[in-house]
A = this chain, B = another copy of it.
Amino acid sequence: LKTLKVALLGFGNAGRAFARLLMKKEAALEARFDCHIAITAISTHTHGCAVDAGGLDLAEAVQTVEAGGRLRGDASLSAMDIITMADYDVLFEMTPLNIRTGQPAIDHIKAAFARGKHVVTANKGPIAWAFDELSALAASRGALFFYETTVMDGTPVFNLAQLTLPETSVTEVSGILNTTTNYILEELAAGKAYEDILSAGRALGFIEADAAMDIEGYDAAAKLTALLNVLMHAHMTPDQVERTGIEHITPADIRAAAARESVIKLYCRGWRDSGRLRATVQPVEVPRGSLLATIDATSSVVSITTEEMGKLSVVEHNPLIEQTAYGLFSDLIRVLNALA
């Protein structure tokens, strides 16, 4: 039995759901890959850290954090200390996102690659802001770099393109990628007031305290950029997206669209326009009865058009945190396959 040592950077809802899935699948992975997954480091923002090159007790760590306790590692160790000093083979970057810069996740990933370590990230910032640099760095160090979870959680998008659409040339990527705006637009259409929607959405956990990143289209732009960087070699950053949010959409706009048998969705699209790659995020009217109009509340869709295969679409239906966990897990399996 081989051992693959994994460091978890961030141990929030997604990180702990991933930990639970890992424990559930431990025997299956050992049987399939003849490999034991040892969690050798966990770094959290508010619950301390834990480091043990021999492998931590993952169940105990989950329990401690969920009970509001602290992990008992050296309290002076920063995330970067763990990245640069701990004993691990694969870093799981799951720290909170700064969507305007991609930091500190970018620096975390660079530091791991500098040591030749593999990286799986759930953090769209690095893919949106620094994909080319990070990919080149990974390649130069012989390190693996996977990021399925950054768009549509565990629903295969990047892995779909990379594993099931080989030797295709992607000509267009489009979709509905931000669920907060989807929810707000539907609630507006149902006649609710903007402020009521926000407060109800916050109470339900659908909407973050600072919803501006969603409402103004930054989150969608970052996801679109990540898709285009990976699938269309766009070499771009989110600030190059032509971006219009939904902050100026009024109930009157929505009623006018409804009178035309349409609904308004925040639509993301990237395509080659006379050789130049263009990327737009904007509210558009889509006809009732179209696929886009059926994507409700927390569901998402990505459509990929290739020269060789025409257009296909992948829909994620009302995901839970388990989908995020599975995305991380499927990237771990890509690592195991690559090392097998």
Q: What is the distance, in angstroms, from A284's C-beta to the closest C-beta of chain B?
A: 16
Known A-B contacts A164-B164, A330-B165; the reply to A316 vs B322 at CB < 8 A is no
Residues of B within 8 A of A260 (CB): none
Residues of B within 8 A of A315 (CB): 291, 312-315
Considering the complex, give the chain B residue whose CB is closest to the CB of A313: B315
Which of A34-42, A122-130, A155-163 binds B?
A155-163
Residues 295-316 of A, flagged 1 when their CB comes within 8 A of B and 0 if not, give: 0000000010000111111111
Would A156 and B165 count as touching, CB distance under 8 A? yes
What CA separation (Å) do A294 and B295 show in the bound complex?
11
What CA separation (Å) do A25 and B306 show in the bound complex?
14
The answer to the question of A28 belonging to the interface, with a C-beta cut-off of 8 Å to chain B, is: yes
Known A-B contacts A289-B288, A289-B293, A314-B314; the reply to A309 vs B154 at CB < 8 A is yes
Copies in the complex: 2
Known A-B contacts A159-B163, A289-B294; the reply to A312 vs B314 at CB < 8 A is yes
Known A-B contacts A155-B312, A291-B315, A309-B154; the reply to A29 vs B320 at CB < 8 A is no
Known A-B contacts A164-B159, A167-B28; the reply to A309 vs B294 at CB < 8 A is no
Would A316 and B323 count as touching, CB distance under 8 A? no
The answer to the question of A329 belonging to the interface, with a C-beta cut-off of 8 Å to chain B, is: yes
Secondary structure of the A contact surface, majority rule:
mixed
Would A317 and B322 count as touching, CB distance under 8 A? no
Q: What is the distance, in angstroms, from A93's C-beta to the closest C-beta of chain B?
A: 21
Residues of B within 8 A of A290 (CB): 294
Known A-B contacts A167-B28, A289-B288; the reply to A317 vs B313 at CB < 8 A is yes
Residues of B within 8 A of A313 (CB): 313-315, 317
Residues of B within 8 A of A232 (CB): none
The answer to the question of A250 belonging to the interface, with a C-beta cut-off of 8 Å to chain B, is: no
Q: What is the distance, in angstroms, from A87's C-beta to the closest C-beta of chain B?
A: 26
Would A308 and B288 count as touching, CB distance under 8 A? no
Considering the complex, give the chain B residue whose CB is closest to the CB of A24: B308
Q: What is the distance, in angstroms, from A285's C-beta to the closest C-beta of chain B?
A: 15
Residues of B within 8 A of A29 (CB): 167
* 3 tightest A-B CB contacts, nearest first: A156-B164, A313-B315, A163-B163
Give A residues with C-beta under 8 Å from B.
21, 25, 28-29, 32, 154-156, 159-160, 163-168, 288-291, 293-294, 303, 308-320, 322-323, 326, 329-330, 333
